Amino acid sequence: MAFPDWTLYFLGVVIISGGFYIYRLCRDPRKSALISGLFMRLMARTEKSLFKIAYALYTRTKLGYMFHKRQMRKARERYPTGHSKTQSTSLNGIKIIPVPILSDNYSYVVIDTASNLAVVVDPADPQAVQACLEEEGVTLEAILCTHKHWDHSGGNQALRRVYSSCQIYGNAIDNIPGLTRPVSDKDTINVGTRLHFRAFYTPGHTVGHMIYLLDGQPFGSPSSLFSGDLVFLCGCGRMFEGSATTMLSSLDTVGSLNDDTLLWPGHEYAEDNLMFAVEVEPGNVAREQKLQWVLQQRDQRLCTSPSTLGEEKQYNPFLRSHAQELHRALGLQQSQDEDWTAYRARVLEALRKRKDIYKGR
């Protein structure tokens, strides 16, 4: 299992501290043989345990926020103008602006152009988001937070200090920083005259993960889904706090939405995800066409958002747990006494494990 970037710092701390302790013990010849045997047994269990420790430190302590601030500084130095070039999308009085932050995240500024009121999704870097808001000359009314991880929630409180009337929405069970308006499944959030969102409860990546659907149909436009770390272009998030069955249910929520829905994910993972999909569905023509387009975009550092859910259903393997082609590629068959949902969850689990090994995302 490959670790996400944000765990490396904590893993280093744990490994160095543990290694120093073992070194001190091993200096005593009487204990060295005993320690050697214990160490070998410990290493068989270490990876999973270290990850749990690192994850807990990142999500539940101030060390996680300190690490996030360090990552912001490094990203600003490495990408002074952002990791990707983006452009706004206008949808009949609604303007959506992807804001590149950190090394591969996106925040989204969503503007009701009639009232000059704005909503921001996952503003992890408050400096970048505030610069966008000021450039557009709009007032921030609401923050929609998909989940608690600092690379999605790290700017909540700083922005609210600047925009005091701004409300912060998210799931209370996910411990969202600065939360003022807890939301549950199917709750609605309205800002201005055209920004009408519906929240969907989609656990799996975290226990309280939410996604937000901006309704465009009343205005003759496609709807827009802000999916956080549930669904990416040709990918899905890791199952940090849920089972494959839980994640499957959340992915099925996405799969039930209209095909023309625009997908605005939380990360620029398109190229890696599509390259992984080559391994599991090499004959997928739609995937190959999308890959060629993404390679052209990324060669110029251009943003790959949005795709559409109709496209994703054709080539995103994590939305295709029903596909026989995928089952054959994974070498899986449904057991006689296994119901369809349980089998699809097993397919999803096998697929996610293979992706974990392929790339740490």
Domain with 340 in it: what CATH number?
3.60.15.10
- Provide mean pLDDT across the span 145-160: 97
Confirm whether 65 is domain-assigned: no
Annotated active-site residue 147? The verdict is: yes
Confirm whether 223 is domain-assigned: yes
Which tens digits make up the pLDDT trace of 106-121? 999 999 999 999 999 9
Q: What is the DSSP string of 123-174?
A: ---HHHHHHHHHHHT-EEEEEE---S-HHHHTTHHHHHHHSTT-EEEE-GGG
- What is the percentage of the chain residues whose pLDDT exceeds 70? 86
Identify the active-site residue in 68, 83, 196, 205: 205
Confirm whether 294 is domain-assigned: yes
Confirm whether 281 is domain-assigned: yes
- Provide mean pLDDT across the span 301-323: 97
- pLDDT value for 19: 45
CB 169 within 8 Å of CB 199 = yes
Confidence of residue 43 (pLDDT cuts 50, 70, 90): very low
Confirm whether 141 is domain-assigned: yes
Q: How far apart are CA 47 and CA 300, in angstroms?
A: 37
Identify the active-site residue in 112, 122, 174, 229: 229
Identify the active-site residue in 68, 83, 147, 209: 147
Range of the domain at 353: 89-357
Mean residue pLDDT of the chain comes to 89
Which tens digits make up the pLDDT trace of 58-99? 998 889 999 999 999 999 999 999 999 999 999 999 999 999
- Provide mean pLDDT across the span 247-259: 98
Confirm whether 197 is domain-assigned: yes
Confirm whether 60 is domain-assigned: no
Confirm whether 64 is domain-assigned: no
Annotated active-site residue 196? The verdict is: no
Which tens digits make up the pLDDT trace of 223-245? 999 999 999 999 999 999 999 99
Q: Provide the domain count of the chain.
A: 1
Kindly tell me if the per-residue pLDDT of 185 is higher than 70. Answer: yes
Annotated active-site residue 149? The verdict is: yes
- pLDDT value for 310: 98
